[in-house]
């Protein structure tokens, strides 16, 4: 037997501009040469030292990578903290090449999401890793001479199915997007993660 119940409202965190997420929050360090053959990309939690520099990575797969030369980012600078990111690094020298911020958010209920926009957004992929349900998505953006509002992305709970036979609960989510008047000249990619709930399976309804 199963039943459908709404999930209680939770806090929705909004992207501070998808363009900002993928440009200002994507820091590169070296141009690289043949060492790119050792380049690796991993989703992880970046740890900052007491001086606010990235000193090690907690890789989703379970490994810990200590950065040979700690680096400072303009968006991950709070001392002794962790930030979710997609990081490119050299597996032999343990040098970081780049880091892209990943939005960490909690879903909201349908009732709270009634006024959220459903502008166009393309889901590239979903996966579980690092204790998160992760989404890679594409949106359109562009630059103008006028000041622009930030685009907004979030998750909404559509349905939760609870089972009384011990099977994992099933939670069905919708990825929402508000273009907020930004032009749609070209495509950029963003990433979103939401913490996993124990004994729960996650499904994204607008996944192709």
Architecture of the CATH domain 24-102: Beta Barrel (2.40)
Which residues is 176 bridged to in the sheet?
154
DSSP labels, 133-192: EEEEEEEEE---SS--PPPEEEEEEEEEEEETTSPPEEEEEEEEEE-TT---SEEEEEEE
Quote the CA–CA distance of 203 and 148 in Å, as a whole number: 33
Look at residue 36 in the predicted model and tell me its pLDDT.
61
The average pLDDT across 134-150 equals: 87
In whole angstroms, give the CA distance from residue 176 to residue 156: 7
Residue 22: pLDDT band by 50, 70, 90 thresholds?
Answer: very low
Q: CATH 2.40.50 occupies which residues in the chain? A: 24-102
Helix (DSSP H) and strand (DSSP E) numbers for the chain: 1, 14
Mean pLDDT of the chain: 83
Give residue-wise pLDDT tens across range 102-130. Answer: 999 999 988 876 556 788 999 999 999 99
CA–CA distances in Å: residue 169 to residues 13, 64, 133, 142: 24, 31, 14, 40
Q: Tell me where in the chain the CATH 2.60.40.2370 domain(s) lie.
A: 2-21+104-204
Nearest in space to 143 (alpha carbons), one of 32, 18, 4, 54: 18
Residue 35, pLDDT score: 55
Q: What percent of the chain has pLDDT over 90?
A: 62
DSSP3 helix / strand / coil % (the chain, rounded to 5): 5, 50, 45
2-21+104-204: CATH architecture: Sandwich (2.60)
What is the per-residue pLDDT across 149-176, written as a single tens digit (0 to 9) for each? Answer: 888 899 999 999 999 888 999 999 999 9
Residue 77 or 117, more confident: 77
Pairing relationship of beta strands 96-101 and 26-28 according to DSSP bridges? antiparallel
CA-to-CA distance for 160 and 176, rounded, in angstroms? 18
pLDDT at 145: 72
């Amino acid at each position: 037997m199963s039943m459908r119940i709404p999930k209680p409202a939770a806090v929705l965190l909004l992207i501070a501009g998808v363009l900002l997420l993928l440009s200002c929050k994507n820091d590169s360090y070296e141009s690289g040469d043949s060492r790119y053959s050792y380049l690796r990309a991993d989703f992880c939690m970046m740890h900052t030292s007491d001086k606010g520099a990235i000193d090690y990575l907690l890789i989703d797969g379970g490994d810990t990578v200590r950065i040979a030369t700690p680096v400072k980012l303009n968006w991950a600078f709070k001392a002794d903290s962790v930030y979710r990111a997609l990081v490119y690094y050299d597996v032999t020298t343990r040098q970081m090449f780049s880091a892209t911020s990943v939005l960490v958010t909690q879903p909201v209920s349908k009732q709270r999401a009634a006024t959220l926009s459903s502008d166009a957004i393309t889901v590239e992929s979903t996966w579980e890793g690092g204790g998160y349900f992760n989404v890679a998505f594409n949106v359109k953006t562009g630059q103008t001479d006028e000041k622009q509002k930030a685009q907004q992305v979030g998750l909404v709970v559509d349905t939760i199915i609870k089972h009384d036979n011990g099977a994992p609960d099933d939670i069905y989510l919708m990825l929402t997007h508000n273009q907020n008047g930004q032009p749609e000249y070209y495509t950029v990619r963003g990433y979103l993660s939401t913490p996993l709930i124990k004994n729960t399976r996650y499904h994204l309804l607008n996944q192709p």
